[in-house]
């Protein structure tokens, strides 16, 4: 069976999966201990992806980062609430005393007019 010129040739796979045999020392090849996923690319273009479980230190650092972000959010929200408390108090006092101030203003205006 000969290959005809009008039919394209079958393309060979570009990547081959790397199968690590049981008992193979996977940690020896990967020196990145703090990386969850690491992608290596060789000179021939073959990519190797290493996926590993996070260790206790990595989990602790992630939880610490989440805790710091939550604490920062709490501080910002507390500052906003503490900033608005005086504004609300001034608004309430303005609403309470606007009636009496209006009466004094009418009296003063009538006094200027000579009524």
Instruction: Encode pLDDT of 12-51 as tens digits.
Output: 666 666 676 676 555 555 554 445 666 777 776 667 776 7
What the block records as the tokens of 23 is 């008992």
Mean pLDDT of 104-113: 86
| DSSP of 8-23 | PPPPPPS--PPPPPTT
pLDDT score of 34: 44
* Portion of the chain with pLDDT greater than 90, in percent: 26
Average confidence (pLDDT) over 84-111: 87
Q: Residue-wise over 74-98: b if at least 16 C-beta within 10 A, else e?
A: eeeeeeeeeeeeeeeeeeeeeeeee
Q: Is the pTM of this model over 0.75?
A: no
- Closest to 37 (Cα-Cα) out of 20, 60, 54: 54
């Amino acid at each position: 069976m000969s290959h005809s010129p009008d039919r394209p040739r079958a393309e060979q796979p570009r990547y081959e999966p790397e199968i690590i045999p049981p008992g193979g020392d996977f940690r020896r090849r990967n020196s990145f201990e703090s990386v969850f996923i690491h992608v290596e690319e060789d000179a021939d273009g073959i990519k190797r992806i290493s996926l590993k479980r996070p260790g206790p230190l990595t989990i602790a650092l992630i939880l610490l980062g989440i805790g710091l972000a939550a604490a920062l959010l709490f501080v910002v929200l507390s500052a906003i609430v503490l900033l608005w408390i005086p504004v609300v108090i001034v608004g309430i006092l303005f609403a309470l005393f606007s009636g009496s101030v209006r009466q004094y203003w009418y009296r003063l205006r009538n006094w200027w007019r000579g009524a």
